[in-house]
Chain A
Amino acid sequence: MNESQDPTALKQAALQEIQEAGDLDALQQCRVRWLGKKGPLTALLRSLGSMSPEERKAFGQDVNAAKQAVQAAIDSRKTELEAAALDAQLENERVDVTLPGTHGPSGGLHLLTKVTNRLLDVFQSLGYDVVTGPELETEHYNFSALNFPPEHPARDEQDTFWTEDGRLLRTHTSPMQVRYMEQHKPPFKVVVPGKVFRNEAVDATHEAQFHQLEALVVGERVTMADLKGAIQEMADALFGEGTKTRLQPSFFPFVEPGAEFAIWWTHPKTGKEEWLELGGCGMVHPNVFKAAGYEGVTGFAFGFGIERLAMVPYGVPDIRWFYQSDLRVLDQFRGSL
């Protein structure tokens, strides 16, 4: 019996070759060569027919054992080679996770928009409608309909930008009180955010252009206690449940009785507890209802500046920063409130 007919020798030669197969292709060739139809082990099985029964049994067992050993070696080598290939692929696909990510500018809302949105969230959750109105107004809506008599010093409290055609830039969001009443029927609750304008000397705390939020609630029997309640709800939402609020008598021509309102809070920079004077409020003056054509209702209104609510809590040192579009400033406003 020569070597090519010795199953053990063939097995040894096959195992040697399988071990040396460097990749899955080479391994596949091994399989074809040693286990394929033309392979030497298959040829040995074919030669069984010419053997005696005793010989056939023993030899057959040897050949089958060799075949199984070769198959096992191929399977094992295949697993090894697949693992190595995956390792190579993974190594190949490595990226530098420390390089910066791909993106354009992050974008962001203006701080004044964020503060306004927060306020609108509060009022919308309390069931208020939200509307906006014209910035270029008439004397009628800005003053006369709001019970500012002609030539009254109360008009001087609001330095006004007049236009050459006799209109004006609204000095407060209150003109929308009358405009809204003209277009809606009571009862209602509405807030009006928007730009307002005052012809004042501009400095770190005064701007010719700023923002206000106005609230108006009208119904058959709305009281000043409801006004206090609305301010309390706003304070609770903005500064936490149980925040102290205060009303003190004041004067605005379009309300009577009138008041100023303040919120007791802890100044975030100084840590000092103090009253934060926010704005004006009161019960809608009968003359305003008259101008809007309303009868037999009561209502309250309040309004305040947005800039102050943005500047004090977030430590913005200069009101002009809001309008200078300096990205070094705007970038800092991007965080959530």
Chain B
Amino acid sequence: MNITHEWLAEWVPNLPSVDETADLLASLGLPVESVTRHDGPPPGVLVVDVTSVTPIDGSDHLTLVTVDAGEQTASVVCGAPNVHVGMRTAWATPGTTLPALGVTVEAKTVHGQASEGMVCSPKELGVYDDASGLIALGDDVEPGTALADVWPAATVMDVELTPNRADAFSVRGIARDLCAKLGVDALDPTRDLPPVVAGSDAGVTTRVDDPAGCPQLVVQRIDGVAVRPSPVWLQARLAALGLRPRNGVVDVTNYVTYELGQPSHAYDLSALDHEGITVRAAKPDEPLELLDGRSITLHADDLVIATGDGAGQPVGLAGVMGGAGESVTSATTNVALEVAHFNPVRIRKAAKRHGLHTDAHLRFERGVDPDLPPLAASRAAQLIAHVAGGAVRSHAAVEGDTDVRAAVPFRPSRVAFLMGFSVAEADQRAYLERLGCEVDATGADGWTVTPPSWRFDLKIEEDLIEEVARLHGYEHIAATKPELDFTPPERDATHRALRDELVAAGHQETIAYVFTGADEASAVHAPAPHVYLSNPQGLERSALRTALYPGLLRAAAQNQDASGLRLFEIGRVFLSEEHERLAVLHAGRIDGAAWQPGETASFHRLKGILETLAERRNARVAVVPADPDEFPMLHPGVAGRVIWNDQDIGMIGRLHPRVERHHELSETFVLEIDVPLPAGRLTIRELPRQPYAERDVAVVVPDVVPYATLEAAVMKAAGPHVLTVFPFDVYQGKPLADGHKSVAIRMRWRHPGRALTDAEVDEHLQSVIAQLQADGYEIRS
């Protein structure tokens, strides 16, 4: 929220400098995001009255304007549509530099007319952002006055309000906190102002059909106003906050919003049926044209302001935005000022539903002081009469009642218990009272503290402890260590060891977005998304990923310059459940210097990574040929299912050439498996005392026969003492027939208790050969 240091100084006695004020506010939990110097209009700009307006021949929009600056008059060519005789505005005399425009105004000839200086819009003056016409000044300043003398510069502080501090959404609210911290009384200009009172002279009828939505409604009538531009002091104050001055009545409602924190709305009484205002729930599908020109269709949960007894058309979306038709205009003479308290949730829902974001709704959804309407109505009426003339009716129409705050039990000893520092009970009490709480310290078990109406965020003891600590100062919190009897279990929840192993093996870690789209999933043959976002950032980010490899493919695709890639990611995928996974990608030349033959990515190189991971974990890993169509993203001839300690944990293979082509990639290999990777038990085996015996056999088989099948046959026939079986050569080519390979297999046997004889081992070998032949394979000699 924007607030000016100057305005705050009117409320806080001896307010410190801007920097010190900002530090104080931060220490109260109201940090100042930024401080901006808001310059007034430049010197050389005078207040003038427009005394004549003459169209210029040959121009459809330019006029020659005579301005009266008291002791001098001048002729100025003007293009503003709102210029009219009798208007009080601003004239930049020749020689004046307008920093907002970056020009120095000169006397010159425009369209054949001598033009001395320039009449200015608010934007040209640099006072607020409106270039649609000349600035319209109030009659509190005399022609000839230097505008800079009456329109002060301001120091704007942007105070960041956390959602709990609705009470600080005004000059009064921030001043209250500062005064409590400084231990002084606020200079409240409304202190001696009596709130409005209900009575027979209200001159307006009111009705609340939905008291839950509108616990209190005050309507104050002001008769005989003259709606005209606001006085300069008021315009300057609103402009510094970034608000656009409109007219005296509307500007006062905005002023009171910022001064006290209570939004209000002024209606032209003549536009209200039966001079009445009703707050009611909207009828389903009821139309409403808003102040900003938009038309909305209302919902039964919306709260509206309607005229008369409520049967008529709504004239405003309560607490959010007024309607188009009933606002105050220059023709208005009698004003009905509506000041109400609304239910925060109803306002929030309505604003959300209709996509509206207004200052009023932001205040009401956070919560406004429920007891404020009678005082705010009185303050606004007083200022309207001051600014726009008119007579305030002695009575107001008041519906509903003030809120009753619940008392909060409070034990002063808990401050030390929770904060670790102690504050004298007298000081605690003083802090709470300075914040507006009523403290009853007579109870045996502790105090009873009733927070003020504006601090509805104070509900429990801890809230009050924070208040005491805030005023005492968080800088008094010491730094200590808790004494806890806790030893954390040993675990690697973030897979640090796995990451380190992969990096040591030359892999670069990547982190991709968890977002994907149905199109991407289908293009790379990933499982279709299971979880879609209802409010995504674009179609390609509309769902959650079902696999990690598509992210690695994106990374590979955008790093085509790299000669080789070894990438990995550990992250979560979202199928019917959320899983943590590891994905590894190999492509291109993955080893060797450029001047050497080197090594390019291959299935078995990637499988080697998997096997190393298994060995390090004392785990068993096997890759079995994937079933047809099991992994549609993989090349059907280079696709395996990964079995880790007998659990199916994922896939390994070469990408399907269709997927490679989608990303214009060359041969690319991927591994994607669930993590964590369970480790096998580590138990030390005794060292063998017997030597092993070794025999080799070579088999010629069709290419499609997997090695694993041969190994299984060997194991079946090799007898009880077989130690290891492994392939040591795979050969294709002459003299073998096309489509065949020769696989040389080495077997080792060991008896635990004695040396095996050659005859025994040869017998095992013969059984193996017999088994292989029985399975239809040719033995190569």
Residues of A in contact with B (beta carbons under 8 Å apart): 99-110, 112-113, 116-117, 120, 124, 127-132, 134-136, 150-154, 156-157, 161-165, 167, 169, 187-190, 193, 195, 197, 199, 202, 208-209, 217, 219, 221-233, 245-251, 256-260, 283, 285-286, 298, 322-327, 330-331
7 contacts between A and B (CB under 8 A): A104-B566, A108-B509, A116-B494, A161-B533, A164-B533, A223-B418, A223-B482
Report the bound CA distance from A258 to B457 in whole Å. Answer: 13
Contact of B494 among A130, A187, A227 (CB under 8 A): A130
A109 touches B509 (CB 8 A): yes
Asked if A219 contacts B488 (CB within 8 A), the reply is: no
A189 and B481 alpha carbons, distance in the complex (Å): 12
Contacts of A127 in B (CB 8 A): 486-488
Interface of A is mostly: mixed
Nearest CB on A from B417, distance (A): 7
The answer to whether B499 has its CB under 8 Å from any CB of chain A is: yes
List B contacts of A130 (CB < 8 A): 488, 491, 493-494
B419 x A225 contact (CB < 8 A): yes
Decide yes or no: A189 and B488 within 8 Å by CB, A100-B594, A153-B365, A325-B558 being known contacts: yes
Q: How far is the CA of A285 from the CA of B460 in the complex (A)?
A: 10
A163 touches B531 (CB 8 A): yes
Which of B158-166, B228-236, B619-627 participates in binding chain A? B158-166
Given A100-B595, A132-B494, A224-B420, do A107 and B506 touch, yes or no (CB 8 Å)? yes
Determine the chain A residues whose CB is within 8 A of the CB of B419 once the complex forms. 223-225, 257
Asked if B503 and A226 sit within 8 Å, CB to CB, the answer is no
A112 to B512, CA, bound (A): 12
Which of A104, A112, A124, A230 contacts B592, CB < 8 Å? A104
Q: Tell me if A105 and B532 are in contact (CB < 8 A).
A: no
Question: Is B482 in contact with A226, judged by CB distance below 8 angstroms?
Answer: yes
Say yes or no: A330 contacts B510, CB within 8 Å. Answer: yes
Residue in contact with A226 in the complex, picked from B420, B506, B593, CB distance below 8 Å = B420
A104→B602 CA distance, assembly (Å): 14
**What range describes how many residues of B lie at the interface?**
35 or more
Contact in complex: B537, A208 (CB < 8 Å): yes
Name the residue of chain B whose CB is nearest to the CB of A148: B163
Residue in B closest to A227 when the chains form the complex, CB atoms = B477
Would A251 and B506 be within 8 Å (CB), given that A164-B533, A229-B480 are in contact? no
B266-291: contact bitstring with A at CB < 8 Å (1 yes, 0 no)?
00000000000000000000000000
Interfacial chain B residues near A169, Cβ < 8 Å? 514, 533, 544
A246 CA / B477 CA spacing, docked (Å): 9
Q: From the candidates A107, A164, A165, A257, name the one contacting B566 in the complex (CB within 8 A).
A: A107
CB-defined contacts of B27 to chain A, threshold 8 Å: 248-249
Complex alpha-carbon distance, A174 and B512, angstroms: 22
* Nearest 8 CB-CB pairings of A with B: A225-B420, A249-B29, A325-B555, A257-B466, A251-B162, A129-B488, A223-B420, A104-B591
Tell me which residues across on chain A come within 8 A of B596, comparing CB atoms: 102
Q: Which of B475, B481, B500, B555 has the most CB of A within 10 A?
A: B481
The interface residues of chain B lying within 8 Å CB-to-CB of A102 are 591-593, 596
Decide yes or no: A163 and B488 within 8 Å by CB, A223-B417, A229-B480, A248-B29 being known contacts: no
Q: Are A107 and B508 in contact (CB under 8 A)?
A: yes
Contact A256 B462 (CB under 8 A): yes
Within 8 A of A (CB), among B473-495: 474-475, 477-489, 491, 493-494
Residue of B nearest to A153 (CB): B163
Taking the nearest CB of chain A, how far is it from the CB of B560, in angstroms?
A: 10
Min Cβ gap B360→A in Å is 14
Specify which chain B residues have a CB less than 8 angstroms from the CB of A154 in the assembled complex. 163-164
- B349 within 8 Å of A (CB atoms): yes
Q: How far is the CA of A137 from the CA of B591 in the complex (A)?
A: 42
B564–A228 contact, CB under 8 A? no
- B residues 641-662 in Cβ contact with A at 8 Å: none
A286 to B348, CA, bound (A): 26
Are B515 and A105 closer than 8 Å at their CB atoms? no
Among A102, A153, A188, A222, the most chain B Cβ lie within 10 Å of the Cβ of A153
Shortest distance from the beta carbon of A179 to any chain B beta carbon, whole Å: 13
Q: For B530, give the chain A residue with the smallest CB separation.
A: A165
| Contacting pair B593 A112 (CB below 8 A) | no
Closest to A190 in B: B488
* A248 near B31: Cβ-Cβ < 8 Å: yes
Cβ-based interface call for B496 (8 A):
yes
A107, chain B: closest CB distance, angstroms = 4
Q: Are B510 and A209 in contact (CB under 8 A)?
A: no
Smallest CB gap from B505: residue in A: A107
Most chain A CB within 10 A, of B477, B592, B593, is at: B477
